[in-house]
Amino acid sequence: MSDEAHIVKSYEEELQNLNDSLIKMGSLTESQLADSMEAIIKVDKESADKIIANDAKINELRAKIDNQIMTVLVKRAPMAIDLRITISTLKISHDLERIGDLAKSVAKKIKPLPHDLPKELIGSLRRLGDLVQKQLRNVLDAYLNKSKESAIAIWKNDEQVDDLTNTAMNEVADFLGKSKKNLELATHLLFVTKNIERAGDHITNIAESLYYLIEGEYLEGARPKGKDIEKNS
């Protein structure tokens, strides 16, 4: 093998290793989000401890990806599609880390909760959590398949996340209005709801980064908003 062929092969391996690390990070983040949602619905305080501890694995992968990207940038000075891969991977890994952080934050809020959460609050929280988990699963699949159509669909679906967030927050507000004794519980649940919504925002960021990776340009237009948000803007 010539020196030039060896360099090309080595470069391709570095990009593949970067891709593999991102896929692994995505899988871990997906598990963390799913586990945190199941734990909050069931008020599973034992699982909460495991979720909090597992966040370190996602952080370690983010650090590994940062080092891999630095190596590629310094050694290879990537251009065109290779540069887009490198930039997009950096952005996506940041958003995955933030989703992991938010899953950990949700898990931390499980500790002070009673074991018998009001049923009317569990339903809306479950629907929001299920949608955000579906969005994450879909965007990771879209990354594997390099599907711009899926990236656009996920981007547009952020509106549904906003709508379900508003529904969940309104139900928590109604619950609070019934008694001042509900203040502490309502505060925890509002925090959880906003964290789930923020995870959805980071998933939309990933869809935007994926579209840029594929097309070399950014999605045009304002990010879709939920109905209540549009009324108040």
Please say whether the dihedral angle defined by the alpha carbons of residues 108, 112, 116 and 118, taken in this order, is positive or negative: negative
Domains and their CATH numbers in the chain: 3-232 (1.20.58.220)
Q: What pLDDT shows up at residue 227?
A: 64
Q: Would you list the DSSP string of 94-161?
A: HHHHHHHHHHHHHHHTTTTS-SS--HHHHHHHHHHHHHHHHHHHHHHHHHHHT-HHHHHHHHHTHHHH
* Residue 2 vs residue 123, higher pLDDT: 123
Helix, strand or coil, per DSSP, at residue 79? coil
Q: CB of 33 within 8 A of CB of 103?
A: yes
Q: Give 219's pLDDT tier (boundaries 50, 70, 90).
A: confident
Helix, strand or coil, per DSSP, at residue 223? coil
Buried b / exposed e over 84-100, threshold 16 CB at 10 Å, is bbbbbbbbbbbbbbbbb
Q: What pLDDT shows up at residue 2?
A: 46
DSSP label at 77? -
Q: Give 7's pLDDT tier (boundaries 50, 70, 90).
A: low
Q: Percent of the chain beyond pLDDT 90?
A: 73
Does 68 score more than 90 pLDDT? yes
List the one residue out of 162, 201, 37, 185 whose CA is nearest residue 105.
37
Q: What pLDDT shows up at residue 3?
A: 44
List the one residue out of 143, 136, 141, 140 whose CA is nearest residue 157.
136
Residue with tokens 């009324």: 231
Q: What pLDDT shows up at residue 33?
A: 98
pTM of the complete model: 0.91
Query: What's the whole-number average pLDDT of the chain?
Result: 90
Q: Which two tokens stand for residue 46?
A: 């034992």
Does 1 score more than 70 pLDDT? no
Q: Give 11's pLDDT tier (boundaries 50, 70, 90).
A: confident
Helix, strand or coil, per DSSP, at residue 221? coil
Stretch 207-216: mean pLDDT: 96
